[in-house]
């Protein structure tokens, strides 16, 4: 069954797994300061991190949750996913491989 590359319908796995994965990755980038603070706290605190890093963990969770609950952010990630899927359907090459195989100038 051939797919129209520009078709917009989403399967459940795309809605429930693939788009949320993009959202998590992008949210972690946008919350990088909180990720760094939490990571540093955990490294500095050893086994006491559960107790010592509550403030940093709460700040990180709050930042990430803000993005997860943002409908505009979901739409942005959905459009990114659809663009990648459309490109894959046209070329047959996943985005990661396409980006790796770009020629480098010397």
Q: What is the pLDDT of residue 74?
A: 97
Q: What is the pLDDT of residue 8?
A: 81
Contacts of 14 (CB under 8 A, 6+ apart): 81, 85
Phi-psi region of 92 (alpha: psi -120 to 50; beta: other; left: phi over 0): left
Q: What is the pLDDT of residue 101?
A: 55
Which ranges of the chain have pLDDT less than 50?
1, 106
Predicted TM-score (pTM) of the model is 0.77
Q: What is the pLDDT of residue 106?
A: 46
- Give the pLDDT confidence of 55-85 residue by residue, as tens digits: 999 999 999 999 999 999 999 999 999 999 9
Q: What is the pLDDT of residue 95?
A: 76
């Amino acid at each position: 069954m051939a797919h129209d590359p520009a078709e917009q319908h989403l399967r459940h796995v795309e809605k429930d797994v693939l788009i949320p994965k993009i959202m998590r990755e992008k949210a972690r980038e946008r919350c990088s300061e909180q990720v760094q603070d939490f990571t540093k706290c955990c490294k500095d605190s050893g086994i006491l991190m559960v107790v010592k890093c509550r403030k940093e963990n709460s700040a990180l969770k709050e930042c990430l949750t803000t993005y997860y609950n943002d409908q505009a952010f979901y739409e942005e990630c959905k459009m990114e996913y659809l663009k990648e899927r459309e490109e894959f359907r046209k070329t047959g090459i996943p985005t990661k491989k396409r980006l790796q195989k770009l020629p480098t100038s010397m």
